[in-house]
Amino acid sequence: MCTYTTEVVEIDGSGKGAAGWFELTRAAVYVDHPQHAPLAHTVNIDLANPALGPAARVAVELSEEAALALVAAIQAALAAAPAGLASRTA
């Protein structure tokens, strides 16, 4: 069932689209009908930089299981890294 609830967060990062790499500034996460994935509903993640226009977007459609596995993998990777390694300053 679609909730029409969208979680939006400001982010710092980079994404790669058809024209190459670009800065990412926003992530939107919601559950809805997918455009491409062969599932009834998916967890949809849009990583974007709205200031650069609609082409500056990376879209992902995941099953619920895949989305939860991705969350766990991100948490595990961050927990295994030395403190501050994935911080904004390099």
Question: What is the rounded distance in angstroms from the CA atom of residue 69 to the CA atom of residue 65?
Answer: 6
Q: What value does the mean pLDDT of the chain take?
A: 92
42, 5 contact by CB (below 8 A): no
Residue 4 neighbours by CB under 8 Å, 6+ apart: 30, 32
Q: How confident is the model at residue 25, as a pLDDT?
A: 98
Mean pLDDT in residue range 8-15: 97
Q: How confident is the model at residue 84, as a pLDDT?
A: 77
Question: What is the rounded distance in angstroms from the CA atom of residue 63 to the CA atom of residue 51?
Answer: 29
Q: How confident is the model at residue 83, as a pLDDT?
A: 82
Question: Could you state, in order of their start, the residue ranges of all structural domains in the chain?
Answer: 6-63
Percent of the chain's residues with pLDDT above 90: 81
Other Cβ atoms closer than 10 A to 90? 5
Q: How confident is the model at residue 88, as a pLDDT?
A: 63
Q: Is the pLDDT of residue 73 over 80?
A: yes
Better-predicted residue by pLDDT, 88 or 51: 51
